[in-house]
């Protein structure tokens, strides 16, 4: 996820601000990059309900009234209009062209854009030209290795955690959890670092973050919703905060209609359009389908050996990448289970062992995303292949997201490979192969 670092909303967590994709007034010379893993309002479920006109209706989806923390009336947040991939591409373009508004500072938080972007965007080359990069990652990866300063964040069990859901209830809801253990090492929470830096900068930045710590910031935010005791008397500040921590958050009463509800977007219906691809089918006959790994996700968990050891649910593959191909297509190309194949697009080529899958269409080649790191601890580095290296540098015009399915590829057997399967894989079910 990419966005310019907002003048953080008073009473709003930097982490929650990242997760909900909101920002305040943009700074001109800095940019923050954070993980896109959290669900976005434009996810599949909200999108389908909007398509069926089931938003804010019984049986459909309700957007949660937004939790109003300290000072949010004075600093309204604005929804980010551009998706992360379009913003990342524009960031790299500005830096490489030495434009006046190109960021002078980049902050990385749970993000690895060098690994996760098509090579033609030249994100790594752009990072080399940024004057100052700071990373809050706990492990070195392709992006944090280019940082000038690394400030490891706490682990989740050592951190204050908070979240305000965007959909799923008609009540205003916010959750919070205190650290379960003390920090084992000399780490520091990312929000505490930002608060301290804001205080040191002074001027217009310090008043936007007037707290001394992240805990004080959260407490100030939740105290805006003073709970009353059973007798109707106002609860003290300490009692109110204690009750919030005991019950794991705050939620408004059923009869409350307060809070700022996110209104559904009003726009004309989308027209059915023919799919567009980077090259004609005669040159590259297969559709490339990269998908998030169920074990290492987008690659952010690839450094964990127990996740590498965990077999993938359907194929039971472990410790590497594979290329899923239909059995009849593989037979036509003289490819057998475990053969090393080269998948080539107009933009690059990768090699991985073949996995025959009866559940995939004959004209589709699928690869899991998450492997193929060049620099991400000894368990993930130089292991497997990264299919993002094959992707066309195209974005979807409606959302600005990377056009994952717009790339065509060719496949060629190059020799024998090594496919690590826990339980024999799909070859244990020959009748499924015959049905295809």
Provide block-wise average pLDDT over 10 residues at a time, the chain (436 residues).
35 37 42 53 59 71 65 40 71 86 89 91 92 93 93 93 79 87 93 92 84 90 60 62 87 57 58 79 90 90 92 89 94 93 93 92 94 92 93 82 89 90 61 47
Prediction pTM value? 0.76
- The domain spans of the chain are 2-217, 286-435
Task: Report pLDDT for 108.
Answer: 92
| CATH class, range 2-217 | alpha beta
The dihedral built from the CA positions of residue 262, 263, 264 and 268, taken in this order, carries a sign that is negative
Task: Report pLDDT for 46.
Answer: 63
- On whether the CB atoms of residues 390 and 117 are closer than 8 A, the answer is no
**DSSP secondary structure, 337-403, as one string:** TTEEEEEE-SS-EEEEEEEE-TTS-TTEEEEEES--BSSSHHHHBT-S--GGGG--S-B-TTT--B-
Tokens representing residue 268 in the block: 């004309």
Task: Report pLDDT for 397.
Answer: 76
Task: Report pLDDT for 235.
Answer: 58
Task: Report pLDDT for 31.
Answer: 64
Strands 161-163 and 173-177: antiparallel
End-to-end CA distance of the chain: 39
| Element (DSSP H or E) covering residue 133 | strand 132-135
- On whether the CB atoms of residues 335 and 413 are closer than 8 A, the answer is yes
Task: Report pLDDT for 126.
Answer: 92
Structural fold of domain 286-435: Barwin-like endoglucanases (2.40.40)
């Amino acid at each position: 996820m990419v966005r310019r670092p907002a003048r953080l909303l008073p009473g709003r967590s930097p982490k929650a601000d990242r997760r909900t994709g909101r920002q305040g007034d943009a700074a001109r010379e800095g940019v923050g990059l954070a993980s896109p893993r959290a669900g976005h309002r434009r996810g599949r479920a909200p999108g389908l309900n909007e398509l069926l006109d089931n938003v804010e209706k019984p049986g459909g989806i309700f957007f949660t009234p937004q939790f109003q923390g300290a000072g949010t009336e004075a600093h309204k947040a604005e929804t980010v209009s551009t998706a992360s991939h379009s913003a990342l591409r524009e960031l790299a373009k500005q830096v490489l062209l030495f434009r006046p508004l190109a960021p002078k500072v980049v902050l990385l938080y749970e993000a690895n854009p060098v690994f996760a972007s098509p090579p033609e965007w030249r994100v790594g080359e752009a990072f080399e030209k940024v004057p100052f990069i700071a990373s809050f990652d706990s492990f070195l990866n392709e992006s944090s290795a280019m940082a000038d300063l690394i400030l490891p964040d706490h682990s989740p069990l050592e951190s204050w955690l908070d979240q305000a859901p965007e959909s799923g209830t008609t009540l205003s809801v916010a959750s919070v959890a205190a650290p379960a253990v003390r920090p084992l090492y000399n780490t520091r929470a990312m929000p505490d670092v930002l608060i301290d830096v804001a205080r040191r900068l002074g001027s217009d930045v310090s008043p936007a973050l007037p707290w001394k710590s992240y805990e004080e910031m959260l407490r100030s935010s939740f105290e805006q919703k003073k709970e009353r005791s059973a007798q109707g008397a106002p609860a003290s500040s300490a009692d109110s905060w204690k009750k919030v921590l005991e019950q794991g958050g705050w939620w408004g009463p059923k009869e409350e209609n307060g809070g700022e509800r996110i209104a559904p977007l009003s726009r004309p219906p989308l027209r059915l359009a023919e799919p567009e691809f980077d090259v004609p089918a005669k040159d590259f006959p297969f559709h490339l389908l990269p998908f998030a790994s169920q074990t290492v996700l987008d690659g952010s968990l690839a450094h964990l050996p127990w996740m590498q050891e965990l077999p993938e649910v359907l194929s039971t593959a472990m410790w590497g990448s594979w290329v899923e191909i239909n059995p009849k297509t593989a037979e036509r190309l003289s490819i057998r289970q475990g053969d090393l194949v080269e998948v080539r697009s107009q933009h690059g080529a990768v090699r991985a062992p073949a996995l025959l899958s009866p559940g995939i269409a004959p004209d589709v080649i699928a690869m899991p995303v998450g492997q193929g790191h060049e620099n991400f601890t000894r368990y993930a580095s130089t292991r497997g292949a990264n299919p993002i290296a094959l992707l066309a540098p195209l974005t979807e015009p409606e959302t600005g997201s990377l056009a994952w399915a717009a790339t065509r590829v060719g496949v060629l057997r190059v020799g024998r490979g090594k496919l690590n399967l826990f339980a024999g894989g799909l070859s244990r079910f020959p009748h499924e192969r015959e049905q295809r």
